[in-house]
Amino acid sequence: MAIPKSLSAFSDWEKNLLNHVQTHLTAFAIQSAVFDPLLALQTEFETAYARALAPNKGAVDIAERNRARAAFEKALRAFIKAFLLYSPYVSDKDRDEMRIPIHDTTPTPVPVPTTFPEYSIDTSIPARLIVHFWDEASKQRGKPKGVHGAEIRWEEREDAPAKAEDLSNSDFATRTPRTFAFTGDNQGRKVYFCLRWENNKDEKGPWGAIVHAIVP
């Protein structure tokens, strides 16, 4: 939540907000016992702010103003989050007048992945195969928007599988790269891989190409 940084803007903003809340306490279903401590912190801040503006101000006055603002701002953030941002009693018009964020309560639909991962396999470390993957529609490594991660099907075998589902092992990676560790007994053997994207609803996209690497 963006709270004004400058002292004068912050003072104007908090006065407007608390004045609006105080006028609508009953409508917002907020009890005085919750709201009154904010008024006390407001008084402390405004008093310290005015003192720090005086021509004869000192370092102690500046420090007290900063302390009062920090305490007041912390309490305001907690109050806004608990009683204003998501309250059914507070309208978007009220939030706009108080200059606080208006949140969209309608969940953004998560699309089913339509692209597939492209990937390369790093064989520079003995007994390790390191799978780097990225979206086929992007040159940057990583996953596309709305995707939770990549399902990785793999198997050590000599013959190429007809389809990804023929690979007996399944792994899941939320970030690239994914390292597969083998023993010395596996060195020189083929390992086939195939990847596809999956979103947070377990909906899966199309498989990418089936590739293989030799365990170094």
- Please state, in angstroms and rounded to a whole number, the distance separating the CA atoms of residues 171 and 179: 11
Query: Of 142, 148, 131, nearest to 213 (Cα)?
Result: 131
- Please state, in angstroms and rounded to a whole number, the distance separating the CA atoms of residues 130 and 121: 5
- Please state, in angstroms and rounded to a whole number, the distance separating the CA atoms of residues 95 and 55: 37
Q: For the whole model, what pTM was predicted? A: 0.52
- Retrieve residue 146's tokens: 């709305």
Reduced to 3 states (helix: H, G, I; strand: E, B; else coil), residue 180 is strand
CB 146 within 8 A of CB 111: yes
DSSP alpha helix (H) spans, 2-156: 7-23, 32-53, 59-83, 92-98
Per-residue pLDDT 10s for the chain (216 aa) are: 678 999 999 999 999 999 999 999 999 999 999 999 999 999 999 999 999 999 999 999 999 999 999 999 999 999 999 999 999 999 999 999 999 988 766 666 788 999 999 999 999 999 999 999 999 887 666 678 889 899 999 999 999 999 999 999 999 999 889 999 998 889 999 999 999 999 988 899 999 999 999 999
Reduced to 3 states (helix: H, G, I; strand: E, B; else coil), residue 170 is strand
Write down all domains in the chain, each with its CATH number in brackets. 7-98 (no CATH), 117-214 (2.60.40.10)
- Retrieve residue 19's tokens: 């004045």
